[in-house]
Amino acid sequence: MSENVSDTVKTWNASVLTLFPDAFPGILSQSIIGAAQKNRIWALETVDIRNFAANKHRNVDDTPAGGGPGMVIKPDIAAAAIDSVAPMGRPIIYMTPRGTPLTQKRVRELAAGPGLIVFCGRFEGLDQRVIEARQMEEVSIGDFVLAGGEIAAQAMLEACVRLLPGVLGDACSAEQESFEDGLLEYPLYTRPREWEGRNIPEVLLSGDHKKIASWQTEQKEEITKARRPDLYKAYLDRAKNTKGDNHEHD
């Protein structure tokens, strides 16, 4: 009899602190991520930051010290929300555009841990003192500014959860994806063989797995070189360090 994954693997726990709890689970309730939650591979707790507001207007923010636009989330309220959650050895992550850009490498590390506590910012952001006092890790999902941390949190959680054991159907599919070997993915094709006058590259129909693999590697290298010279340079440096520089690149 096959064992249920949830019987053998410990649940990965996500706690999300937000001013918009209705935004969750959002997309995380769908497809393989939603199914994984039902199977108790991961669990989601949502905490409404506003529940920790002290005054009768339930204000959570105040004007920035030193002036400037917008409002700042107050440290005492943010800390009370964070402290209401059982730590369980989890990192506390503050989603912010000024954070360290999220990478697949960091996603893998986070997925391998017990889970995450995620703080979603709003307004201009969060008082610096609570970031320091609660040793929050500042994470960005890209060089652009969203109105709040909720979509960023969902993006990060989705990236982590899909790597948990038992979530992806085909165990290989995560290993062959963009970033896993430092390169972007090769182009994908499926039937029909010809569509609007465009053909699937012959090599992919050849059945020669060696040729296919080397075509895919070439494509990955070309695409990465053109689109992400930073990744391509790191890939070349790694290749140099591991094998000696016997690989031909221009």
Residues that bind ligand SAM in the complex, under the rule CB under 6 A:
95-98, 120-122, 124-125, 140-142, 144-149, 152
Report the nearest approach of ligand SAM to the CB of residue 126 (Å). Answer: 6
Q: Of 119 and 232, which CB lies nearer to ligand SAM in the complex structure?
A: 119
Q: Which residues of 10-21 are buried (b: 16+ CB within 10 A; e: fewer)?
A: eebbbbbbbbbb
The per-type count for the chain, helices as H runs and strands as E runs, is 9, 10
CA 218 to chain centroid: 27
Least distance to ligand SAM, CB of residue 49, Å? 12
Give the separation between CA 42 and CA 114, rounded to whole angstroms.
Answer: 10
Q: Which is nearer to ligand SAM, 140 or 224 (CB)?
A: 140
Closer Cβ to ligand SAM, 96 or 224, answer by number: 96
Nearer to ligand SAM, 36 or 95 (CB): 95
**Closest CB to ligand SAM: residue number:** 121
Element (H, E) at 116: strand 115-120
Displacement of CA 55 from its chain's centroid (Å): 35
Q: Classify residue 244 as left (phi > 0), alpha (psi -120 to 50) or beta.
A: left
Task: Report which secondary-structure segment, H or E, holds 147.
Answer: none
Query: Among 137, 120, 117, 136, which Cα is nearest to 22's?
Result: 120
Rounded to whole angstroms, how far apart are CA atoms 248 and 172? 28
Nearer to ligand SAM, 33 or 95 (CB): 95
- Minimum CB separation of residue 227 from ligand SAM in Å reads 20
Least Å distance between CB 199 and ligand SAM?
39
Q: Compute the half-sphere exposure of residue 152: CA atoms within 13 Å on the CB side of its CA.
A: 29
Q: Residue 86 and residue 191: Cα distance in Å, rounded?
A: 50
Between residues 74 and 220, which has the closer beta carbon with respect to ligand SAM? 74
Q: How far is the CB of 46 from ligand SAM (least distance, A)?
A: 15
Quote the least distance from Cβ 92 to ligand SAM, whole Å.
13
Smallest separation, CB 149 to ligand SAM (Å)? 3
Nearer to ligand SAM, 77 or 146 (CB): 146
